[in-house]
Amino acid sequence: MAVSPASGACRSGPTPSQTEGPYYTAGSPERTNLVEAGTVGTPLLVTGVVLNADCVPLSGARVDFWQADGAGEYDNAGFQLRGHQFTDELGRYQLETVIPGVYPGRSPHIHVKVFANDGREILTTQLYLTGISDQIADAIFDAALLAQDEAPDADGHRHVSFNFVVVE
């Protein structure tokens, strides 16, 4: 995926921050697939690019993901549906996960933290899904954080994309 200032990827400014929430656990395993045996939920592919405010892709940025399973439950004892990865030389990430479930007061969302190469946390936010997250009352929902639907992946699963624009 080629991204440039002309493409409009950075036109709206930095990605809005959102609360970390009570369920972040440091020390997640490095992986691009959060789905383990027994994981509840419908498969979801999330892809995108991490960019700086000048729309330059950030290689080697650490991206942490964590979320509830398809039933709206978090794993607070281990690392199911938790993991981190590093962006490639073009700033890209790719995550295999499941569509998060609903729990009281929240629409389905995926938590994200982005860290610079030097380890500084530069963004904490949440991603939402069109047609699901925007249909449920949620006091912190932000339409600017809706992932864009893409063509289904090779297995026919839902595929969404989101580019994170960060201030270093």
What pLDDT, on the 0 to 100 scale, is given for residue 59? 97
3-state secondary structure at position 45:
strand
> What predicted TM-score, i.e. pTM, was given to this entire model?
0.92
CA distances from 69 to 20, 113, 124 (A): 17, 18, 20
Q: How far is residue 105 CA from its own chain's centroid? A: 20
What pLDDT, on the 0 to 100 scale, is given for residue 2? 45
How many Å apart are CA 111 and CA 9, to the nearest integer? Answer: 21
What pLDDT, on the 0 to 100 scale, is given for residue 15? 97
Question: Per-residue pLDDT tens for 78-124?
Answer: 999 999 999 999 999 999 999 999 999 899 999 999 999 999 999 99
- Tokens 């399973």 correspond to what residue? 69
Residue numbers in the chain where pLDDT is lower than 70: 1-9
Ordered by start, the domain boundaries in the chain are 5-19+29-166
Superfamily of domain 5-19+29-166: Aromatic compound dioxygenase (2.60.130.10)
What pLDDT, on the 0 to 100 scale, is given for residue 22? 82
